[in-house]
Chains A and B, each alone.
Chain A
Amino acid sequence: MALRFLVAVLVLVFAVCSHAQQIAIGLGGDVTSIDPHYHNLTPNNNIADHIFGTLVQKDERQRPKPGLAESWRPIDDLTWEFKLRKGVKFHDGSDFTAEDVAFSIERTGKVVASPGPFTIYTKQVTESVIVDPWTIRLKSSAPYPNMAIDISTVQIVSKKAAANATTDDFNSGKAAIGAGPYKLVRYVRGDRIELARNDAYWGPKPHWQHVTFRVLTSDPSRVAALLAGDVQAIENIPTADMARLAKDPNFAIFRTVSNRVIYLHMDSNRDNSPFVTDKAGKPMQRNPLKDARVRHAMSKAINRAAIVDRVMEGLAIPAGQLLPDGMFGTNPNVKPDAYDPDGAKKLLAEAGYPDGFGLTIHTPNNRYVNDEQIAQAVAQMLTRVGIQTKVEAMPSNIFFSRGSKLDFSFMLVGWGADTGEVSSPLKSLLATYSKEKGMGAANRGRYSNPKMDAVLAQALATVDDGKREKLLQQAVEIAMTDVGVITTHFQVNTWAVRKGIAYTPRTDERTHAFGFVPVKQ
Chain B
Amino acid sequence: MLTYILRRLAASAVLLLVMSLLVFVGVYAIGNPVDLLISPEADQKEIERVIAALGLDKPLWQQYLIFLERALSGDLGRSFAFHTPAIDLILSRMPATLELALAAMLIAIAAGIPLGLYAGLKPDSLIAKSIMAGSIFGFSLPTFWVGLMLIMLFSVHLGWLPSTGRGETVALFGVQWSIFTWDGLRHLAMPAFNLALFKLSLLIRLTRASTCEALLQDYVKFARAKGLRMRRVVGVHVLKNIMIPIVTVIGLEFGSVLAFSIVTETIFAWPGMGKLLIDSIQVLDRPVVVAYLLVIVIVFVFINLLVDLVYSALDPRVRLAPGHAAG
Asked if A pairs with B, the answer is: yes
The residues of A with any CB-CB pair to B shorter than 8 Å are 30, 32-33, 38-41, 112-117, 119-120, 123, 167-168, 171, 188-192, 214-218, 220-221, 224-225, 227-230, 366, 395-398, 400-404, 415-416, 418-419, 424, 427-428, 435, 438-439, 441-442
A116 touches B43 (CB 8 A): no
Task: Determine how close the nearest CB of chain A comes to the CB of B29; give it in whole angstroms.
Answer: 10
Chain B hits for A416, CB < 8 A: 40
Task: Determine how close the nearest CB of chain B comes to the CB of A439; give it in whole angstroms.
Answer: 7
For residues 133 through 173 of chain B, which have their beta carbon under 8 Å from a beta carbon of chain A? 148, 151-152, 155-156, 159, 162-166
Task: Determine how close the nearest CB of chain B comes to the CB of A222; give it in whole angstroms.
Answer: 8
For residues 47 through 64 of chain B, which have their beta carbon under 8 Å from a beta carbon of chain A? 47, 49-50, 53-54
Chain B hits for A402, CB < 8 A: 31
CA distance A32 to B37 in the complex (A): 11
In the complex, how many residue pairs between chain A and chain B have their CB atoms under 8 Å apart?
164
A438 touches B45 (CB 8 A): yes
The answer, among B35, B84, B271, for a CB contact under 8 Å with A168, is: B84
CA distance A81 to B266 in the complex (A): 48
Chain B hits for A123, CB < 8 A: 46
CA distance A366 to B279 in the complex (A): 12
CA distance A32 to B84 in the complex (A): 10
Chain B hits for A442, CB < 8 A: 40
Task: Determine how close the nearest CB of chain B comes to the CB of A218; give it in whole angstroms.
Answer: 5
B46 touches A224 (CB 8 A): no
Chain B hits for A216, CB < 8 A: 164-165, 269
A220 touches B40 (CB 8 A): no
Count B interface residues, CB 8 Å. Answer: 54
B44 touches A221 (CB 8 A): no
The answer, among A112, A398, A424, for a CB contact under 8 Å with B83, is: A112
Known: A190-B275, A438-B44. A401 touches B30 (CB 8 A): yes
| Residue B217, interface by CB 8 Å | no
Chain A hits for B8, CB < 8 A: none
B81 touches A32 (CB 8 A): yes
Known: A40-B39, A402-B31. A115 touches B81 (CB 8 A): yes
B38 touches A115 (CB 8 A): yes
Chain A hits for B41, CB < 8 A: 120, 418-419, 424, 427-428
CA distance A402 to B47 in the complex (A): 16
Mask for B271-298, Cβ within 8 A of A = 1, else 0?
Answer: 1000110010111100000000000000
B283 touches A397 (CB 8 A): yes
Chain A hits for B164, CB < 8 A: 214, 216, 221, 224-225, 230
Q: A214-B164, A227-B156, A400-B36 are in contact. List 9 more A-B contacts (CB 8 A).
A: A32-B82, A39-B37, A119-B49, A220-B267, A225-B269, A397-B30, A397-B36, A400-B31, A404-B35
Mask for B102-134, Cβ within 8 A of A = 1, else 0?
Answer: 000000000000000000000000000000000
